[in-house]
Amino acid sequence: MSTNHDTELRFKKIPFNFRGGSMPALGFGTLFPDLVVTRSAVTNALRVGFRHFDCAERYLNEHEVGEALQGEIAAGAVAREDVFITTKLWNTNHRPERVGPAFDASCERGASQFLAG
């Protein structure tokens, strides 16, 4: 069953309280055990309208998520500025001195080209 609420939520953005900007309200989770499925699922999610992708260091597929995103951006299917990525650090990386290096490692593993763009 589809309602106007479904459509409104699909395109809803949540505004930030600091420095402006916003993020899509709905995120696409990227926990897939198969790396080929990861690439395919992320590509298909982009094609049907998802713009927020929820990743994690622990999923061990950041490279494949980044490849799928970069491929669709390079093809002109989506603009870089329309995509929002969130990620989670593994529990051992929550100490303040470990956050920066863990974030940098996530960028290097997966989406370094994507994030730099």
Supply the residues annotated as catalytic.
Answer: 59
In terms of C-beta density within 10 A (0-12 exposed, 13-18 middle, 19 or more buried), how is residue 112 classed? middle
Q: How far is CA 23 from each of CA 1, 17, 34, 35, 53, rounded to the nearest angstrom? A: 26, 11, 27, 26, 10
